[in-house]
């Protein structure tokens, strides 16, 4: 799909966005391309790490796709914005903090008082995402 978009639009006009489990795919896509911006909402540092935190004993074959966002950051050349709720029980915001610690280019916004499923209704989220997309 991204390759088809590149046929119609310059990558300087394309923004890759991923939410929750989709952030791992968005990070890999940005690492292999040159979009204008990467926006991650409620990301994890590594899917394998997240599953290990949630379910300590998981057979290796179940974690088939690594989706290790932290491993692809070095290959991303565009600005990266991360938004995460501090009350996220699905993907704790410590994952966003880990990503920020690995790459200081990340513009991290922690939204206080919101979790995984209600983050996007936060006025702070709406204001920040509007600013990111307007730049």
Q: Supply the CATH number for residue 112's domain.
A: 3.40.50.1820
In a domain, 3, yes or no: no
Q: What is the pLDDT of residues 75-131, one digit of tens each?
A: 999 999 999 999 999 999 999 999 999 999 999 999 999 999 999 999 999 999 999
For residue 93, give every residue at least 6 positions away whose Cβ sits within 8 Å of its Cβ, in sequence order, or none: 84, 85, 86, 110
pTM for this predicted structure: 0.88
In a domain, 32, yes or no: yes
In a domain, 110, yes or no: yes
Q: Could you list the residue range(s) of the whole structural domain that residue 119 is in?
A: 11-134
In a domain, 73, yes or no: yes
In a domain, 5, yes or no: no
In a domain, 4, yes or no: no
Number of domains in the chain: 1
- Is 20:113 a contact under the CB 8 Å cutoff? no
- Is 56:98 a contact under the CB 8 Å cutoff? no
Element (H, E) at 85: strand 80-85
Q: What is the pLDDT of residues 89-103, one digit of tens each?
A: 999 999 999 999 999
C-alpha pair distances (Å), 119 with each of 50, 85, 101, 116 = 19, 6, 22, 6
Nearest CA to 83 out of 47, 35, 38 is that of: 38
């Amino acid at each position: 799909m991204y390759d088809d978009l590149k046929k119609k639009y310059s990558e300087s006009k394309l923004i890759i966005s991923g939410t929750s489990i989709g952030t791992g795919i968005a990070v890999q896509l940005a690492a292999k391309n040159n979009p204008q911006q990467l926006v991650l909402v409620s990301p994890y540092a590594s899917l394998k790490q997240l599953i290990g935190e949630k379910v300590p004993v998981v057979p290796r074959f179940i974690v088939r796709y690594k989706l290790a966002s932290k491993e692809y950051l070095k290959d991303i050349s565009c600005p990266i914005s991360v938004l995460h709720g501090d009350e996220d029980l699905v993907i704790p915001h410590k994952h966003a903090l880990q990503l920020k610690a690995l790459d200081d280019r990340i513009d991290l916004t922690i939204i206080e008082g919101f979790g995984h499923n209600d983050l996007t209704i936060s006025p702070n989220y709406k204001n920040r995402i509007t600013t990111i997309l307007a730049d």
